[in-house]
Amino acid sequence: MQNNYDVIVVGSGAAGLYTALNLDPKLRVLVLSKRDLLLSNSALAQGGIAAVVNTTNDNVDMHLNDSLIAGGFKNNTESLKVLVNEGPQDVLNLIDLGVDFDKKEDGSYDLTLEGGHSRHRIFHHKDNTGREIVEKLLAVAMTFKNITLMEQAIVCDLKQAPGGFSLDVLKDGEHLYLNCNYCVLATGGIGRVYEFTTNSAIATGDGITLAYNLGAKIKNLHLVQFHPTAFANKDRECFLISESVRGEGAYLLNGNHQRFMSRYDDRLELAPRDVVSHCIIEESHKLRDNHFYLDITHKDPEFVKARFPMIYSKLLVEGIDMTKDLIPVYPCQHYLMGGIDVGLNGESTIHNLYAAGECSHTGVHGNNRLASNSLLEAIVFAHQIAEDINNKVDKNGVHEVTPYEFSSPIGVPTGTEPIPHGIRTEIRAIMQKSHFVLPDTVAAIEGFERIKELKNLIEKGGWLVNVDYIEARSLVTVAYLILKEVI
């Protein structure tokens, strides 16, 4: 393989793939995937993608206002305008690329409703929308001669070089040194910094750590969203019970099997995610009971099975028939609103370094993301990035990069001993205790001191550089940045 590319995209989720597909076909593009090409938070997204394509009973101002309400009016309004105005065309582009959104019998799109939305505007593919999008984008990307896809490749280090960037990539136990004019980080979220998360196994904050170590501005990393209805089986990777289940009429019940949201919010089960999560925690304190349930048994069983085939089948494996039984749920880490700070074109504070998707901070979500705005943000700002790079190439052309000379994979001496066992477990325990739905300031202060010790231990060097090391370094950096903002 070659070592020089015009653009290197780190991440093969919706943001990474859509960026690659919208770049000028004359550009040499490499898409790196840390593990399998289909393993990403994007592929796990169930609910759908929100966009006002049908303006009969909806408009972009309503979508913007719903997003502002959910975000506590802390949203970046300029970025949000880009999101809601450009989103409809990008959703239509997805359809042109083969994405199969569900339709009604009359051929119109079966738009659904989720918490915080005032209108039915969410396109979906059953309850498996993200995977449908990623699979179709990946299939198209494989037909593009200018796009190279590389699996099982984790970036150890990213450095600025004359004319662009150099990357140290670990693949199959060997280090590859790659160069590019433009680098796009689309590495997803940070869920694995918590004991329980709905995120995939790759969500360790790698892109955020690479950008931070390079000197890019990181903003609002403490704005972590906790989804109110993860399946309460206490697995590290919690199965999400999509917000669209509540959108289709499911009730939220406490341990006494009673609806309780009316005591907290007039929007009931369809209040924004942070509100519902807070209400669950408050109710648990009142009742001294952590048992909560979703109940959709009052709906037609055939409708439920057809609308939520993946959720239905996964729950059956757990011994639960959602058409007859209550579904145990509890809040769980789900999404990051902060990240690598970027402008309207997706560019970070470092020239020609871009970020898209969950690892970026566009400001569109404010303090809390509105349901189904995440896939929308991924594709809209991926398109913005591609257009910006295309315009720069038209103006300046492309050229070979003078490679950065890596002295080691991480900039300090390395060794043959793996990092001590249990560090990642300790990081997760600290974050779960100190920065969950209702943050614990005392625990955060104590935890921050320990995180600093662990960060120093990991970064001092002398360890074997493998995937475990790189991910542990990312997790401790993310934990450090979150708690630093909190205290």
Strand order in 218-219's β-sheet? 218-219, 339-341, 360-361
The two beta strands, 327-336 and 292-295, are antiparallel
Count other Cβ atoms within 10 Å, centred on residue 443: 17
Q: Among all chains, which residue has been given the structure tokens 């400001």?
A: 363
Amino acid (one-letter) located at 452:
K
Active site residue 273: yes
Tell which residue, 250, 179, 168, has the closest CA to residue 465. Answer: 168
Q: Which of 192, 273, 369, 473 is catalytic?
A: 273
Read off the tokens for 2: 């070659």
> Are the C-beta atoms of residues 381 and 425 closer than 8 Å to each other?
no
Q: Are 381 and 81 in contact (CB under 8 A)?
A: no
Q: Is 141 in contact with 21 (CB distance < 8 Å)? A: yes
Spatial distance between the Cα atoms of 337 and 436, rounded to a whole number of angstroms? 15
How far are the Cα atoms of 242, 331, 371, 437 from residue 280, in angstroms, in the given order? 16, 8, 18, 10
Q: Can you name the residues that pair with 354 across neighbouring β-strands? A: 184, 347
Active site amino acids: 273
